[in-house]
Amino acid sequence: MIHPNNSDKTQLDALISHGMSHRQTNNNLAEFYKEQRQSFMLKRLQLQAQIMLVAGLTLITFFSWTNSQVEGKIYAFKIGIVVELFTLLCWGLCKTPIGRRYPDLIFLSLCWAVTCVVQIDIALLFNSLEPRNNIWTLMFLTQATIIPVQWWMHLISQIGTIICYLTLYILYNPTLKNPSAFYGEQGLYFFWTCTICVFSVYLYERLRQKEFYARKAMELAQQKSEMLLLNILPEMIAEQLKQQPTTIADSFLEVTVLFADIVGFTELSTRTSPAALVELLNTIFCLFDQLAERHGVEKIKTIGDAYMAVAGLPNQSNTHAPTIANMALDMQTAIATFNEENNQSFCIRIGISTGPVVAGVIGLKKFAYDLWGDTVNTASRMESHGIAGSIQVCEATYQLLKDKYLLEKRGLIKVKGKGEMMTYLLKGIN
């Protein structure tokens, strides 16, 4: 059976991440299958060589022991040693770059070391050219059983054996005592043995190829579904949900939440086509997503033209406030670059708050990972009560940023549902 190697998952991830077309994916899977088939063939060639070495020793011992003539024993020993040395050479080559690059040649060499080399040795020593059907049949059956791949190589090895015999026959032109015994019934048996070997390898390889593609298609589908799940949930939460599909809710003592809103986008929607509007919003939010991934920030959701993200969960961190601050500053830079490249005049209003939250997954359909708590409400108020083009932070966030960032005191502002709050505007890194 052809088993996948350890790099398959990485290769499949590459296929998905690069968004390859169906044809490209099939071409790459064909390359994977070819590589695996070669690796499988190389391992089985080593196994076959080991079996042949052991079998050769038993045959040398048998013929040397049973032959009554000393000269016959010497000849049997010489022929056996030649085959053993040839087999040992092929075994060694399997472990070299040559063997890894040309396993087909080793396949043929192992076969012909028994079928052709033995025939040549016997012809030279005894001037005998009777077809060695028993040796040939044993060799072809062995290879069809141990190495059931590349049916055409099995066919070539069989044809090569016959060509070798016919060449020797033409050179020596021997007189056979009973040619019908060799070319009649035995020849028919030999023909059907070869046919069955090649056909069985062909069927086996087709079956394994279909199994390979079916397995890869399933793995590819699984990888895609996991990627879709990771686009909805953080990786840790996704794994937890797969292993234990129950209610997921966690409390975090201190995280930093960010809300960002594109100023004037609602008014723009009244004079812009839906397709153009969605394309603009998608481009901007994709820029924010890239920043979130770069800074290690967890995107929570988008609501209309508002963007919500958090740092410090689900993987807790002591640098959540600076992380969000850096992302907020980069978001302003990204919007400025976007405006310059697309001849637009967007600006964003950002609000940041630090404190405890509860996070969890809710819903049965179109479920989402969300946050709850006063910190979330405060971050939302920091954004909605902020100044266009500015980053407004609450007192708790200010205390964590004041040593390393430039912050301007805005003063007390009246916040809906919160009363008066002291707020600050983040200007940059100190």
Same domain membership, residue 38 and residue 149 = yes
Judge whether 44 lies within some domain. Answer: yes
- How do residues 358-408 score in pLDDT, each as one tens digit? 988 876 676 777 889 999 999 999 999 999 999 999 999 999 999 999 999
Q: What is the pLDDT of residues 285-311, one digit of tens each?
A: 999 999 999 999 989 888 888 999 999
State the alpha helices, DSSP H only, in 67-150.
70-93, 97-101, 103-126, 133-146
Q: Are residues 404 and 344 in the same domain?
A: yes
List phi, psi (to 5°) of 413: -130, 150
- pLDDT 10s digits, 22-34: 566 667 777 888 8
Q: 419 phi and psi, to 5 degrees?
A: 80, -150
pLDDT at 129: 74
Assess whether 299 and 371 both reside in one domain: yes
Q: How far is CA 426 from CA 110, 325, 332, 378, 389, in A?
A: 76, 8, 11, 16, 11
Supply φ then ψ for residue 357, to 5 degrees.
Answer: -145, 165
The larger pLDDT score, comparing residue 196 to residue 13, is at: 196
Do residues 129 and 161 share a domain? yes
pLDDT score of 14: 47
Where does the pLDDT of residue 141 fall: very low under 50, low under 70, confident under 90, or very high at 90 and above? very high
pLDDT digits (tens, 9 = 90+) for 369-383: 788 999 999 999 999
Please state, in angstroms and rounded to a whole number, the distance separating the CA atoms of residues 360 and 248. 5
Q: Are residues 210 and 261 in the same domain?
A: no
CATH of the domain at 338: 3.30.70.1230
pTM: 0.56
- What span, in angstroms and rounded, lies between the C-alpha atoms of 409 and 425? 6
Mean pLDDT computed over 95-123: 87
Q: Are residues 295 and 149 in the same domain?
A: no
pLDDT at 426: 94
Average predicted confidence (pLDDT) for the chain: 83
Question: Same domain, yes or no, for 186 and 245?
Answer: no
The answer as to whether 232 is a domain residue is: no
* Calpha distance 83→134 (Å, rounded): 16
Give residue 13's domain range.
Answer: 8-225
Q: Specify the pLDDT at position 68.
A: 65
Number of folded domains that form the chain: 2
236 located within any domain = no
- What distance separates the 2 farthest-apart alpha carbons in the chain? 118
Same domain, 312 and 197: no
